[in-house]
Amino acid sequence: MTKGTGVSGTRCLVDVRADGRYGWRLVAQNGRVVARSGQCFADHAACRAAFAALCAGHAAMGGGVQHTATGNGWVWLLRDADGHPAAYSGRAYERHSTCRAAYARFRALLTAEAAQWTSTALW
């Protein structure tokens, strides 16, 4: 299901995973995944609530760029107030500078459009 889009055409999709849990992904107008949920959720409502919390509280969340688990590349990560992952990059980046720029664009996107996403009732 799709959450409404803002100026950029970015949309939030909620997916059911193979294990029956839910996760969201933010997809750009060109189809590329910008970000994914940092956790899996037991039901659709909990997933929606987590995305709404991200939109509402992103300014107070910390995050940054780090190596991938294998050490071959870079990913960005955003953490909630409890230190749990709230969102992470949609892909790994070869260069630290490219990943850092993608993280900055994601934070700017949240600043510019999060209020529109939380005010849209479509899912």
The phi and psi torsions of 17 (rounded to 5 degrees) equal -85, 170
Only one residue has tokens 């664009």, namely 105
Dihedral sign, Cα of residue 53, residue 56, residue 57, residue 58: positive
Selection from 49, 35, 40 nearest residue 109 by Cα: 35
- Please give the mean pLDDT across all residues of the chain: 87
pTM, 2 dp: 0.83
pLDDT per residue as tens digits for the range 11-60: 889 999 999 999 999 998 899 999 999 999 999 999 989 998 898 899 99
What mean pLDDT do residues 70-90 have?
A: 94
